[in-house]
Amino acid sequence: MKEFDTIVIGSGAGGLAAALCLAKAGQRVLVLEQHYVPGGWCHSFHLKGQRFSPGVHYIGLVDAGDSTNDLYRGLGVANDLVFFRMNKNAYEHCHIGQHKIDMPAGLNNLIESLSLRFPTERRNIKKYIELVDKVGKEIQLIPKMRTFWDHVLIPFRTKNMGKYSLFSLKRVIDWHIKDPLLKSVLNIQCGDYGLPPFKASFPVHCVLMNHYSEGGYYPMGGGGGIVKAMTNALKRHDAEIRIKQEVKRIVIENKIAVGVELSDGTIIRAKQIISNADPAKTYLNMVGKENLSAGLLKKLAKTKYSVTSLILFLTLDMDVKAAGLDSGNIWSLKNEDIDDIYHDLSQNNPSEGTEFPAVFISCTTLKDPVSFNGRYHSFEVVTFIEFDSFKCYDALDYHSPAYEENKNKIIAKFLNNVEKVIPGAKQHIIQAELGTPKTNEYFVQTTNGNVYGTEKSFTQIGPFAFKTKSEIKNLYLCGASTMAHGVTGASYSGVETAAQILKTTSEALLKDKDNQELRVYDAEDSTEWPAWMTQKIELRKKRFKDLKEEVEEE
């Protein structure tokens, strides 16, 4: 049987990035994915002709010269990608109680916008946002410090990060900001890692805000657009991608990873194994406790995973722009007490009550105008819950009447939240389907259906996170539980894993950018769209119209 240089288990952003770097370096690479499509949380799927991307809602630093742009150019996939700049005046809409406050792109714009809304906090806003920016940039510097003098200068070049590294988001913002509503606006993006301010690490929040400092961007084709670009590049470099391939175990011989065994008993050997699965799935399920040290077993036993989610996949037949919507995200909270909201989400039964205390709303057909058929708009509406509320449904109960009844109650509850943001939405529903923690478990194979890998609390980030190089020779990890979560963070983790295998640096692997250009267009301004894009949009609308007329005639 053919032997590979590297087998990558899982085709999430980290796994694909690692595979691509290794394939470009001349390795024989095999990517194994248990789902029927590659991509992990980045994958897209269709329901009744409408596309949804459950794990990709916006990405930051995409413009020329920014880190995400450099990443895709360095990977050699930028030419195959198109991104839309979300509403630069309000890429985040904060609906908090009866208040509506927008977050514009650009730190200076954010400072000015919030200062006009909260004039008595003007000096505090400027000081706090500038601190957030400094800490975020200092953390980004650390992986790039490799020389002797870099290490000597670390304490001076990262002084703000060092000063605030052990403090929670709540504590630091309380020192700087007094208005509870303003605190809520500045903390609202903690939903992007799933922790309330009192538990969240201030440096993690700084990195997150820094990532979106220039606003939000959405890929044409949704998350699937990124996956397609990366899988096409892998094929160009003769890598193999196999779907519906569940890895039963990682084969360990003499404490060395030498291959994988599939669920059908097939064994495939390789010189290196990379797992894009989370640590519990990797070590406990595929490696086995008998091959692990006491120290690693202790760490795994203490590891906490991030929140899981409920996602409503919704299609509406209405003019949502007339209802006031645009390409910006909507964070809808019942009040400004985010800590209390997270407590409610974790403690309450999701099928009880009439509304969720907080939801995130993303309209993909406004973020990606090419996906709009001229009539139907698609949404992903998300809230967080604890996995225990769905623990009672095992594999046998996954599609039981009780499970479906529970889902229907949750959908009705979600729609009450949507109705508050989009009046009249309930009268224009084309479809409303629900993704639950069990869906996450089944399709993405995450521990307890988690959405961000390990919980991003103080004892599980930075030096305490799982390392990309494992204690087992020739076994490596990548993904959201290592360096960072999110599409870009997971991708960079894959690059770093490949760099360790190739005994080089991430910078060296991403240096060839000259022949790559990532195209970025404004989702709100059709006048700048190229002719090919306009033609594609018109063709989609025509096809949909023709199909509707055929159905009506029948």
Helical ranges in 142-201 per DSSP H: 148-157, 159-164, 169-176, 180-187
Please write the tens of the pLDDT for every residue from 448-500: 999 999 999 988 988 889 999 999 999 999 999 998 899 999 999 999 999 99
If you classify domain 4-83+220-303+455-509 with CATH, what class do you get?
alpha beta
Rounded CA-CA distance 285/266 in Å is: 17
In sequence order, which residues have a C-beta less than 8 Å from that of residue 24 and are 6 or more positions away?
A: 76, 237, 509
Residue 441, pLDDT > 60, answer yes
Which CATH number is correct for 107-213, 1.25.40, 3.90.550, 1.10.405, 1.10.40? 1.10.405
- The C-alpha atoms of residue 233 and residue 80 are separated, in whole angstroms, by 9
Give the whole-angstrom CA distance, residue 528 versus residue 517: 17
Per-residue pLDDT tens for 270-311? 999 999 999 999 999 999 999 999 999 999 999 999 999 999
Domain spans, the chain: 4-83+220-303+455-509, 107-213, 307-444, 525-553
C-alpha distances in Å from residue 453, one per residue of 128, 432, 444, 498:
29, 27, 11, 20
Is pTM beyond 0.75? Reply is yes
Largest CA distance in the chain: 76
- Structural tokens at position 221: 């084709």
Instruction: Please check whether residue 11 is in contact with residue 31, taking contact to mean a CB–CB distance below 8 angstroms.
Output: yes
CB-CB contact of 9 with 270 (8 Å): no
| Phi, psi values for residue 244, rounded to 5° | 55, 40
Token output for 298? 């202790």
Task: Between 330 and 463, name the one with better pLDDT.
Answer: 330
Q: Looking at 136-150, 174-188, 233-247, which range is the least confident one? A: 136-150
Model pLDDT, residue 395: 55
Contact between 413 and 356 under an 8 Å Cβ cutoff? The reply is yes
Question: For 206, what's the count of Cα atoms within 13 Å in the CB-facing half-sphere?
Answer: 27
User: Average pLDDT, stretch 540-546?
Assistant: 92
What single-letter DSSP state applies at residue 275? E
Helix (H) or strand (E) holding 268: strand 267-275
What pLDDT is recorded for position 347? 85
